[in-house]
Amino acid sequence: MNNIKKISCFGAGYVGGPTMAVFASKHPQIQFTIYDIDKQQIEKWQQSETLPVFESGLSLLLEETRNKNLSFTSDINEALDEVDIIFLAVNTPIKQSLSKKESYCFDIKYIEACTRSIAEYFDLKKLNRIVTLVEKSTVPVLTSKHIYEILQENQKIYKQYIYGILFKNTRSAINDLLNPERVIIGGGNSPEEQNSTNMLKELYEKWVNKDKIILTNLVSSELSKLVSNSFLAQRVSSINSITALCEATGANIEEVKKCIASDSRIGSKFLNCSVGFGGSCFKKDVLGLAYICESRGLTEVADYWKQVVKMNEYQKSRFSKLIIEKMYNNLDDKIITIFGVSYKKNTNDCRDSASITVASELLKEGAVLHIYDPLAKFESMKKEMQRQEIWKDCYDAKIKFFDDGESASINSHAIVILTEWDDFKQCKYERMFKKMKRPSFIFDGRNLLNREEIEQIGYAYVKLG
């Protein structure tokens, strides 16, 4: 590891930025460079006031490392000059399969484009030394084989490809990077490949216990990431499915959850019911896993995993319909206050947020949305709705963001809690009630509030399960 002088990362997003910030803080003797073709994105990273990603603790890490041993660039030559290790942390979205219209597969065009750019750069420079590629993005099984094929076009430089995954254990990206439950590194069996694997292992051992680092072959590491996220998504859909059953039978989801969580084989993690999972990983990874199964003739296995996503879509739709029905199927020009549009607390990330889906359904019914989210802003919401192709120009006048929950609730007919921000537990609901229209509803999509306290104020309180 003493020979490592420079590490670069392709992709200045939610993965690349925080990952390199942590590495730079742990290895001050190594120069880290984050590269992205998006110049505006790079400029945002260079200024503390305009960071494109918010994660608790990230700003402090950047203060320690930026312009010292961590830099940002949109110049590929600057990123690749004298580099020893290259991390690939670019987006791998899903797209509809051309051969199977009901299925979705990973789109690895950005991975392929980066790999070709890297190979072409070294071919042009005619350099002859070892460079290690580390894949950080979630990719379909056997992507490693395709990467190797691209790299082998250039025989003048010996390039290793390994797959490194750091698994989360909390809801904070920085804390997960600093305190991972496990790190999985997939690599080949040749001496050169094992050397690259050990090099990455030593980098992590600077702050991660050796017992938490698992070495596998490339295919196993690729599949492990998909399966882990799919299992977690499955768990969310499982508890959410029971909320519907509780509502139909009179059972209490919190009591049911307490009973099943007391079984040590099940435990309590990922058993909080919600309006549905979101974020850039779960849906994509589950559908990607289903496609891999389907493409290998495992139709029944694929169908099983598709049901996880189908259940998630049902939960979002069910909650939206519940709001509309409880409000007598009349939302025309009524102000609805939305608490939270990010897909989880402590981030500004709105990608595939369940909140976006619910908000869209309410807008379709003619509602006016007053939104409070401690971090996510109008631009993020609009961008995500445009990506999902559910944005309409008239929504500019239908959506307004506020700096606090009390202001957002003035003249509102209902408050809809969609993200589990701690702030929402502390709101002055009694004072807010006095400034709302009657009847005043609270639809709690995260079961954050105490029913007795809220109903005593005068609200019509509706929760899951």
279 is in an annotated binding site: no
* Burial group, residue 300, by CB count within 10 angstroms (0-12, 13-18, 19+): exposed
Q: What is the DSSP string of 54-96?
A: -BTTHHHHHHHHBTTTEEEES-HHHHHTT-SEEEE-----EEE
Q: What is the pLDDT of residues 370-423, one digit of tens each?
A: 999 999 999 999 999 999 999 999 999 999 999 999 999 999 999 999 999 999
Domain total for the chain? 3
Residues 112 and 71 grouped into a single domain: yes
More confident residue, 191 or 410: 410
**Confidence tier at 187 by pLDDT (50, 70, 90):** confident
> Which of 246, 281, 350, 427 is an active site residue?
281
Is residue 281 flagged as an active site residue? yes
344 is in an annotated binding site: yes
Residues 138 and 87 grouped into a single domain: yes
- Residue 158: what pLDDT? 47
For residue 393, give the CATH number of its domain: 3.40.50.720
Q: What is the DSSP string of 219-235?
A: HHHHHHHHHHHHHHHHH
**Confidence tier at 202 by pLDDT (50, 70, 90):** very high
92 is in an annotated binding site: yes
Q: What is the DSSP string of 247-315?
A: HHHT--HHHHHHHHHTSTTT-STT----S---SSSHHHHHHHHHHHHHHTT-HHHHHHHHHHHHHHHHH
Residue numbers of the domain that contains 395: 316-463
Q: How far apart are CA 292 and CA 305, in angstroms?
A: 11
Domain-located, residue 119: yes
105 is in an annotated binding site: no
* Burial group, residue 214, by CB count within 10 angstroms (0-12, 13-18, 19+): middle
Domain-located, residue 143: yes
Handedness of CA 32, 37, 41, 43 (dihedral sign): positive
Q: How far apart are CA 223 and CA 119, in angstroms?
A: 26
Is the pLDDT confidence value at 52 over 80? yes
Which of 283, 310, 337 is the last residue in one of the domains? 310
Is the pLDDT confidence value at 73 over 50? yes
CA–centroid distance for 181 within its chain: 18
246 is in an annotated binding site: no
Tell me if 339 sits within 8 A of 354, measured CB to CB: no
Is the pLDDT confidence value at 138 over 90? no
Domain-located, residue 1: no
- Residue 152: what pLDDT? 75
Residues 406 and 363 grouped into a single domain: yes
* Average of per-residue pLDDT across 131-157: 80
- Residue 99: what pLDDT? 62
Q: Which of 131-145, 188-202, 401-415 has the highest mean pLDDT?
A: 401-415
Of 19, 74, 10, residue with least CA distance to 200: 19
| CA Rg value for the chain | 24
- Residue 383: what pLDDT? 95
Q: How far apart are CA 22 and CA 18, in angstroms?
A: 6
Which of 310, 333, 349 is the last residue in one of the domains? 310
Residues 329 and 248 grouped into a single domain: no
* Average of per-residue pLDDT across 161-174: 62
More confident residue, 411 or 133: 411
Is the pLDDT confidence value at 223 over 80? yes
- Residue 190: what pLDDT? 82
* Burial group, residue 165, by CB count within 10 angstroms (0-12, 13-18, 19+): buried
Which of 286, 310, 334 is the last residue in one of the domains? 310
Q: What is the mean pLDDT of the chain?
A: 92
Domain-located, residue 182: no
- Residue 156: what pLDDT? 46
Is the pLDDT confidence value at 161 over 90? no
Q: How far apart are CA 313 and CA 277, in angstroms?
A: 9
Residues 13 and 149 grouped into a single domain: yes
201 is in an annotated binding site: no
Of 76, 133, 143, residue with least CA distance to 106: 143
Phi then psi for residue 303, to 5 deg, are -60, -40
* Burial group, residue 161, by CB count within 10 angstroms (0-12, 13-18, 19+): buried
Residues 284 and 401 grouped into a single domain: no
Tell me if 274 sits within 8 A of 242, measured CB to CB: no
Domain-located, residue 214: no
- Residue 395: what pLDDT? 96
Classify strands 335-339 and 414-417 as parallel, antiparallel or unpaired: parallel
Q: How far apart are CA 321 and CA 236, in angstroms?
A: 20
Domain-located, residue 211: no
Q: Give the CB-side neighbour count of residue 308, counting CA atoms within 13 A.
A: 24
- Residue 160: what pLDDT? 60
Residues 269 and 321 grouped into a single domain: no
More confident residue, 287 or 125: 287
Residues 259 and 407 grouped into a single domain: no
CA distances from 186 to 18, 34, 164, 165 (A): 21, 23, 6, 8
- Residue 65: what pLDDT? 96
**Confidence tier at 1 by pLDDT (50, 70, 90):** low
Tell me if 412 sits within 8 A of 370, measured CB to CB: yes
Residues 302 and 330 grouped into a single domain: no
- Residue 165: what pLDDT? 61
- Residue 55: what pLDDT? 85
- Residue 317: what pLDDT? 98
Crossing angle for the helix pair 58-65 and 16-26, to the nearest 10 degrees: 50
Residues 31 and 159 grouped into a single domain: yes
For residue 284, give the CATH number of its domain: 1.10.1040.10
Q: How far apart are CA 380 and CA 376, in angstroms?
A: 6
13 is in an annotated binding site: no
Domain-located, residue 299: yes
Residues 16 and 99 grouped into a single domain: yes
CA angle 279, 170, 34 (to 5 degrees): 65
**Confidence tier at 145 by pLDDT (50, 70, 90):** confident
278 is in an annotated binding site: yes
Of 39, 65, 63, residue with least CA distance to 52: 39
44-53, 298-307, 380-389: least confidently modelled range: 44-53
Domain-located, residue 184: no
Residues 368 and 430 grouped into a single domain: yes
Of 462, 450, 455, residue with least CA distance to 415: 462
